[in-house]
Amino acid sequence: MIAEFLHQNIIKLLSQRNGLLILGGVLSLSNVLLVAALICKSERTILVPPYINKTLWVEGREVSKEYLEEMGAYLSKLLLDISPSSFSYNHETLLKYATPEAYGTLKNQLLKDGEHYIQLQLSTHFKPIEVTANPKSLEVHVKGLLTSFIAGKQIRDVQESLFLQFTQRGGGILLESISGGTPHVS
């Protein structure tokens, strides 16, 4: 009788052990699958600007067209919508978005422009009219109306075009180069 009781306990313990082994195997397999999914999936960073008009995102090596457009419009305003009193702040802010490779060249050009603004008491106001972004090449083309003032008197209205080239670093994009756009009167 005791032998039969022990035999039943052993069978019961073996079935519990087998059940726990199966459960442990399923849990281990699910962990392996989750790790594989995590490694294969790229991270999506949700960017929140001061005001939101559109959905902006960066996922792995891809950037949303809307994010490029917003950055292009923002940086073009920093570059071209300035006065003798605001150029230093605008230029410092713009340089925060520059790649380390482009920083020195861009800073030298901005310093020259700043001296020109002070010398002529020049102010410019830029209104972007059209912003075109290419997410594949990370290029943005900004067209807009540039109004120039010397000593508070309007001297010209011209259509300007800026080409901004970005590069992706980390979870966002950085400014690599700027071409076009003459922010001062020659």
Give the domain extent around 51: 44-180
Residues 6+ apart with CB under 8 A from 120: 150, 184, 185
> pTM for the whole thing?
0.70
Average pLDDT over residues 159-182: 86
1, 75: one domain: no
**Predicted confidence (pLDDT) at residue 52 exceeds the cutoff of 80:** no
Average pLDDT over residues 104-129: 89
Predicted local distance difference test score (pLDDT) of residue 51: 59
77, 29: one domain: no
Residues 6+ apart with CB under 8 A from 65: 133, 135
Residue 17 covered by a domain: yes
Nearest to 85 by CA among 51, 59, 121: 121
Predicted local distance difference test score (pLDDT) of residue 5: 78
Predicted local distance difference test score (pLDDT) of residue 7: 85
Residue 112 covered by a domain: yes
Predicted local distance difference test score (pLDDT) of residue 182: 61
> CATH number, domain at 128?
3.10.450.230
28, 69: one domain: no
35, 72: one domain: no
**Predicted confidence (pLDDT) at residue 6 exceeds the cutoff of 90:** no
**Predicted confidence (pLDDT) at residue 47 exceeds the cutoff of 80:** no
In the Cβ-directed half-sphere of 156, how many Cα atoms lie within 13 Å? Answer: 10
* Main-chain phi, psi angles of 94, to 5 degrees: -60, -40
81, 140: one domain: yes
- Provide the H-helix boundaries in the chain: 2-40, 65-80, 87-95, 100-120
Residue 98 covered by a domain: yes
Place of tokens 């830029």: 126
70, 120: one domain: yes
Predicted local distance difference test score (pLDDT) of residue 125: 92
Residue-wise pLDDT for 75-99, tens only, equals 999 999 888 889 889 999 999 999 9
Nearest to 164 by CA among 49, 73, 44: 73
**Predicted confidence (pLDDT) at residue 59 exceeds the cutoff of 80:** no
Measured distance CA(57)–CA(111) in Å, rounded: 33
In the Cβ-directed half-sphere of 158, how many Cα atoms lie within 13 Å? Answer: 15
3-state secondary structure of 178: strand
Residue 83 covered by a domain: yes
Helix (H) or strand (E) holding 125: strand 122-134
Predicted local distance difference test score (pLDDT) of residue 146: 92
**Predicted confidence (pLDDT) at residue 53 exceeds the cutoff of 70:** no
60, 131: one domain: yes
Residue 29 covered by a domain: yes
Say how many domains are in the chain.
2
Q: Most confidently modeled of 48-52, 170-174, 179-183?
A: 170-174
Q: How confident is the model at residue 186 (pLDDT cuts 50, 70, 90)?
A: very low
| Number of Cβ atoms within 10 Å of the Cβ of 135 | 16
72, 28: one domain: no
101, 81: one domain: yes
Measured distance CA(161)–CA(1) in Å, rounded: 97
Place of tokens 């605008």: 90
Residue-wise pLDDT for 143-164, tens only, equals 999 999 988 888 889 999 999 9
127, 61: one domain: yes
Percent of the chain with pLDDT strictly greater than 90: 49
Q: Mean pLDDT across the chain, nearest whole number?
A: 86
C-beta of residue 184 within 8 angstroms of C-beta of residue 120: yes
